[in-house]
Amino acid sequence: MRIIRYIKENAKQLAAVTNENEVVDLPFADFMSLVEKARSENRTAFEMVKQIASEEAKQPLDGLQLTTPLDAPEVWAAGVTYKKSKEARNYEATQGKLDAETFYDKVYDAVRPEIFFKSTAARTVGPNDPVYLRSDSNWQIPEPELGLVIDKDGTVLGYTAGNDMSCRDIEGENPLYLPQAKVWKNSCSIGPSILLKEAVSDPYEFTIICRIYRNEELVFSGDAQVNQLKRKLEELVHYLVLDNEIFDGTVLLTGTCVVPPNDFTLNENDRIEIEIPGIGILNNPVLQSGKVKQVV
């Protein structure tokens, strides 16, 4: 059972999507209201939504204007959690000298994972919204990732797809530039749905697929399995909430395992599709952000 939001009468409507791609409106203001109501009745959100779906009228999914499935107060991300990511970061940091050991090798094997702040609700966009290219970077890519939707205690409530837009040249120049390589307007997208935790038997069986189109011609396609993840999902959540205040509806992106070739960079008017079967396709066009003022 998937949870979406769509525009209905100029407002965001929470809804459920059945396995037959039929949409049922839900009588809750947002995703966390659904979770809290289910908990108050000692039920899971999945059980509550399943009952509502069996009783209420349905409509087709096609044609609905989707938004982010929730307004995540914060989006965090884990880095260097896949071998492919480690290799890409090493390439950036060493100008292609892959035989040199770096701090990325160390964090890949360390007890403590890399976790960084990625976005706020105001910076996060949803399905079919544009993601922006940073104007002071010449090497930018999407990072397709499995996202965990968690509550303030770190309990996983569901799964979504995320795009952690990244500037490879800025991060490679100096690791202290990581916030600038990761955080800017429209640099994060999530959606198109939240697949409820109870509907997933094993999250490590998810496949993450990324496709990039230029002039509507496919210029990159790649996929990988979440079971290639070096760390456990619970481990990443543990370090995020450790001595930290986390808010209900926070999203934790768990790292990228699909990386375009090193000579590839996104262009304005490209289009990115990130698909996780069972969750759906997160589609975002690419636009150039405003030019930064040059400092003389």
pLDDT > 70? residue 290: no
> Does residue 68 fall inside a structural domain?
no
Residue numbers of the domain that contains 39 = 2-60
Stretch (H or E) spanning 170: helix 168-173
> Does residue 295 fall inside a structural domain?
no
pLDDT > 80? residue 291: no
> Does residue 227 fall inside a structural domain?
yes
Quote the pLDDT of residue 296.
34
Quote the pLDDT of residue 294.
43
- Residues 102, 227 contacting (CB under 8 angstroms): no
pLDDT in tens, 127-136: 999 999 999 9
CATH code at position 107: 3.90.850.10
Residue scoring higher pLDDT (258 or 86)? 258
Determine the Cα–Cα distance for residues 80 and 166; give it in Å rounded to an integer.
13
**Last residue in a domain, options 60, 89, 108:** 60
pLDDT > 70? residue 26: yes
pLDDT in tens, 146-163: 999 999 999 999 999 999
pLDDT in tens, 60-102: 999 999 999 999 999 999 998 888 888 888 788 887 766 667 8
Residues 126, 176 within the same domain? yes
Task: Record the tokens describing residue 168, joined without a space.
Answer: 């490879």
pLDDT > 60? residue 39: yes
> Does residue 212 fall inside a structural domain?
yes
Q: What percent of the chain stands above pLDDT 70?
A: 96
Q: What is the mean pLDDT of residues 195-210?
A: 97
Q: 23-34 in b/e burial notation, b at 16+ Cβ within 10 A?
A: bbbbebebbbeb
**Last residue in a domain, options 10, 28, 60:** 60
